[in-house]
Amino acid sequence: MSTLDKIPVMLYGFGFIGRMLARALLKLKQYDIVGVIDINPKIVGHDIGDILGTGKTGVIVSNNPEKVIRNSKPRVILHATTSFLNQVFPQIKTAIEHGANIISSCETLAYPWYRYPELAKELDKLAKKHEVTVLSAGVNPGFIFDTLPLIISGSCLFVKRIKVIRKINALKRRLSFQRKIGLGIPAYMFDKLLNEGKITGHVGYAESAMIIAKTLGFKLSKIVEKQEPIIFNNKVIGIKGYAAGYSGKRKRIYLEFIASANLKDQDIVVLECENYKIRWVSGGTPGDQATISVMLSFIPTILKSESGLKTVADFIPFRTPVYS
């Protein structure tokens, strides 16, 4: 396949996930990495092949997004910087204004109308103006807590309730993940650091709940989110969090995330249908590998999509009737 036939892709963010995306793209013949953006002074100006240890590629890390996007003209930007839309909004806006489609791992972009309705409205308007698609997708939100149970719901005529539990061994995850859940810190520091945003735990509980609700037509009156530490010998060894979505007093959606030292990986999905239950269990889904797989899998989809700000719910192939 010649370079002219390949889809030009740019990476915005060259941390752990960005580098995993790069390694995968270099193996896929249909894509061509045309630019990489990062602000880390230790890697700016370096060939990505030298950073990855794969040999020179001719693609140099830059900290000037406008220049790189303007010169390289990517059709798709794979965006992986941080979790909160108010912080990444200028990055997304710049990409849109240069005519690039975007797939981002930003968790709060997965359903931005929940926390950032005004920013969501502006992004949708901009994306339609410039005829591009903007989507957030990854393992969570984007798959385990939303797309997976929605796909399973296709075998359920009426859905009454959905419950998803994800358990992961935190010691098997990358260091940056361990830091964001506060692994190893004194127990008394957890709430303070969480409130200050210095640790975040899992981000995106409510976004996944809203994706489910939008797809199934649940009219949620409130969503309750909570995260708390798992403690042993006065040290944080993990985190347990959840989101519960209610219609009045009825709990329609429950999403639970547990990441702890030496925990056995497991994903569980339970659907309560009209007169039976569906229970799906797996031995766990590797989060980082799943995130890059989901992001890359969506490239052909968004290139054929109508323009605008989208969620994974827009690409679910069916809608299940709601049990009233």
Of 37, 40, 98, nearest in space to 62 by CA: 37
Amino acid at 236: V
CATH number for 232: 3.30.360
| Six token digits for residue 298 | 């969506």
| pLDDT tens-digit map of 226-268 | 999 999 999 999 999 999 999 999 999 999 999 999 899 999 9
248 and 305, same domain (yes or no): no
Asked if residue 322 is part of any domain, the answer here is no
Distance of alpha carbon 69 from alpha carbon 94, whole angstroms:
9
Residue-wise pLDDT for 17-68, tens only, equals: 999 999 999 999 999 999 999 999 999 999 999 999 999 999 999 999 999 9
Residues 185 and 101 reside in one and the same domain = no
- Name residue 266's beta-bridge partners: 167
In this structure, the answer to whether residues 295 and 275 fall within a common structural domain is no
Identify whether residues 84 and 106 lie together within a single domain: yes
Residue 274 banded pLDDT, cuts 50, 70, 90 = confident
Are both 164 and 53 inside the same structural domain? no
Q: CB under 8 Å to 52, separation ≥6 — which residues?
A: 19, 22, 23, 26
pLDDT score at 270: 98
* 20 in a structural domain: yes
188 & 104 share domain: no
User: What value does the CA radius of gyration of the chain take, rounded to a whole number of Å?
Assistant: 20
CA angle 241, 115, 37 (to 5 degrees): 90
Asked whether residue 152 is assigned to any structural domain, the reply reads yes
Residue 323 covered by a domain:
no
Q: Is residue 320 part of a domain?
A: no
On whether both 129 and 160 belong to a single domain, the answer is no
Question: Is the pLDDT higher at 4 or at 7?
Answer: 7
pLDDT (average), residues 163-169 = 97
pLDDT at 257: 97
In which band, very low, low, confident or very high, does the pLDDT at 321 lie, cut at 50, 70 and 90? low
Scanning the chain, the segments in alpha helix (DSSP H) are 16-27, 48-52, 65-72, 85-97, 117-129, 147-152, 175-180, 190-196, 205-216, 287-297, 299-303
Average confidence score pLDDT of the chain: 94
On the question of pLDDT at 156 being above 90, the answer is no
Mean pLDDT score, 299-309: 96
* Three-state secondary structure readout of 187-243: HHHHHHHHHHCCCCCCCCHHHHHHHHHHHHCCCCCEEEEEEEEEEECCEEEEEEEEE
Residue 258 domain boundaries: 147-285
pLDDT band at 13 (very low <50, low <70, confident <90, very high): very high
pTM: 0.93
* pLDDT at position 137: 96
Residues 151 and 278 in one domain: yes
156, 56: one domain: no
Residue 155 lies in a domain: yes
Q: What per-residue confidence (pLDDT) applies to 193?
A: 95
CATH number, residue 36:
3.40.50.720
Supply the pLDDT for residue 157: 84
Overall domain count for the chain: 2
Q: How far apart are CA 293 and CA 169, in angstroms?
A: 20
Q: Identify the H or E element spanning 271.
A: strand 266-273
Residue 53 lies in a domain: yes
Mean pLDDT of 299-305: 96
- 162 and 104 share one domain: no
- Distance, CA of 30 to CA of 190 (rounded, Å): 45
Q: Are residues 123 and 27 in the same domain?
A: yes
Q: In 3D, which of 134, 130, 112, 121 has the Cα closest to residue 214?
A: 112
pLDDT at 150: 95
Tell me if 87 is assigned to some domain. Answer: yes
How many CB atoms sit inside 10 A of residue 106's CB?
Answer: 27
Kindly tell me if the per-residue pLDDT of 71 is higher than 70: yes
CA distance 25 to 16: 14
Q: Are residues 277 and 305 in the same domain?
A: no
Phi, psi values for residue 194, rounded to 5° = -65, -45
The answer to whether residue 324 scores a pLDDT higher than 60 is no
